[in-house]
Amino acid sequence: MMAARLHVLLILGLVVGFGVPAPADMLGHGGMVRAIAVSPDGERVLSGGFDYTARLWDFVEQKTIAVLDAHEGPVNAVAWLPGDRALTGSDDGTAILWDLAARKPIRRLVGHKGKVMAVAATADGRIAATGAWDRTVRLWDLATGKTLWVLDHPGNITALAFTSDGRRLVTGGYDGVLRIWRDGRETGQLRGHSWVVTSVAISPDGRYVFSASTDRTVRLWDLAAMREIAVLAHHDDPVYGIAVAPDGKTALWGGRDGVLQLWDMARRAFRRAIRTHVRPVWAVAYAGGGQFGISAGSDGALRVWHLETGDRIGIPGEGDAGPKPWLTSDHPGARFYRKCAVCHSLKPGIAHRSGPPLAGLFGRRVGSVPGYNYSSALRDAEFQWNERTLFALFDKGPDVFLPGTKMPVQRIPHPEDLHQLIDYLRVLTAVTPDGATETEKGR
């Protein structure tokens, strides 16, 4: 098995540049990433990859927290469950229920005779559904690991989702038909796709179903009336991943062309396209209450995007080779600045980062660096950055202090730590008479 796994990874190295990581993002998988799930609090991300592992990430720092390594094949699907648990499905024909705190499997769900391609769980975390390339969906009692129902399909299963109340299950597969199930019985069908249904998502109120397909369309369905409402988009390539915002107001999807599309659901109108530069995009997810999108693709990386502006979050840019005094400084605030350094340059002028440069920060009007692509939250604000406003930013959290900002949700809950960071920022961002910052002078 280990030899086979090594062979897969060597092949991936040739196909997607394994061993030559991109300069940013959530990196660690040794192959394409097929699935993403975000924790209810938005602080962690779970991904499933072709390298046989699932990975747990810190969303703000974009760093690996843990590697969940117990499958014997690529991980195709992941789901977040209450109680700090997760569910993963794999080519090995099994699904695993994980204890994320302990980073260990609770139990393995065995029964499928083909690749498990889709997993989901009810909101209360009591029942799970798994769909496989054996033309069946299985529903499981997660407390015991026993199969409750086996739902037969005419083709392989590729997508499924529960409604928020857990009473209905929507499944899709090779025949292009969406099937609705309740208590182990099929209660209806939604027909319109001409090819494989690759992904389904259900609106938070349980009224609408969104489906993506290799027939190059995204479709919207009314689950109560059991009818198609609209074909939201016609693409030139198959669409693979789709997600609905937590408030149900927008939908996000991506596919073989490597472009994320954001749609306004109230108007059923296109809002924005974001080119990820990676083909294909296999999976997408919302984060940060819906203001951020995450994409996963064939290069093994997860990327974070600010959906209002289309900007990528957390890109190292020019100046990375310059001095980094915060790594060696004995100032007590230096350790907190390391998170700032991911998104911000200290050089005056525009650096290619997801955040504006911090040179001359104190006394500067918010949203005023020329040429930087600010969110409307900062463009419309009128205060100045100083000790008071910086304290409020990290004490309340950017999402509360400036709703809509690109800045990922992060707080410094202890006042003493926050005062130390602000003091260090004052020193580090001061511009000297010759136009340089303390960092540029190597201090």
**Over the stretch 354-396, which tens digit does the pLDDT of each residue have?**
688 888 999 999 988 888 888 888 888 889 999 999 999 988 8
Same domain, 296 and 168: yes
Residue type present at position 210 = F
Q: Is residue 15 part of a domain?
A: no
Same domain, 292 and 210: yes
Across the range 126-153, mean pLDDT stands at 98
- Mean pLDDT (the chain) is 87
pLDDT at res. 436: 52
Q: Is residue 174 part of a domain?
A: yes
pLDDT at res. 316: 57
Listed residue (288, 287, 301, 283) closest to 36, CA to CA: 283
Chain centroid to Cα 207, Å, comes to 24
Q: Is residue 12 part of a domain?
A: no
Q: Which domain holds residue 343?
A: 325-429
Same domain, 391 and 293: no
Q: Is residue 275 part of a domain?
A: yes
Same domain, 254 and 119: yes
Q: Is residue 312 part of a domain?
A: no
Q: Is residue 10 part of a domain?
A: no
Same domain, 296 and 373: no
Rounded Cα distance between 418 and 440, Å, is 24
Asked if 263 and 271 count as a contact pair (C-beta separation under 8 A), the reply is yes
Chain centroid to Cα 363, Å, comes to 35
Across the range 430-434, mean pLDDT stands at 61
pLDDT at res. 1: 39
Same domain, 248 and 376: no
Residues, the chain: 443
Same domain, 302 and 218: yes
- Position 252 pLDDT exceeds 90: yes
Asked if 37 and 80 count as a contact pair (C-beta separation under 8 A), the reply is yes
Q: Is residue 314 part of a domain?
A: no
Straight-line distance from the first to the last Cα atom of the chain, in angstroms, rounded to the nearest whole number: 52
- Position 224 pLDDT exceeds 50: yes
Same domain, 126 and 203: yes
Rounded Cα distance between 193 and 339, Å, is 45
Rounded Cα distance between 308 and 72, Å, is 40
Where residue 411 sits, what CATH number does that domain have? 1.10.760.10
Same domain, 255 and 355: no
Across the range 123-137, mean pLDDT stands at 98
Where residue 86 sits, what CATH number does that domain have? 2.130.10.10
Same domain, 47 and 156: yes
Measured between alpha carbons, how far is residue 255 from residues 220, 274, 283, 354, 362 in Å? Answer: 17, 12, 8, 24, 43
Same domain, 125 and 176: yes
Query: Which residues partner with 170 through β-bridges?
Result: 161, 180
pLDDT at res. 21: 35
Tell me the two tokens of residue 294.
């995450």
Each residue's pLDDT tens digit, 265-316: 989 999 999 999 889 999 999 998 899 999 999 999 999 999 999 988 876 5
Q: Is residue 313 part of a domain?
A: no
Same domain, 224 and 266: yes
Overall domain count for the chain: 2
Predicted TM-score (pTM) of this structure: 0.80
Q: End of a domain among 272, 306, 340? A: 306
- Position 74 pLDDT exceeds 80: yes
Helix axes 415-429, 387-396, angle to 10 degrees: 130
Residue type present at position 273 = A
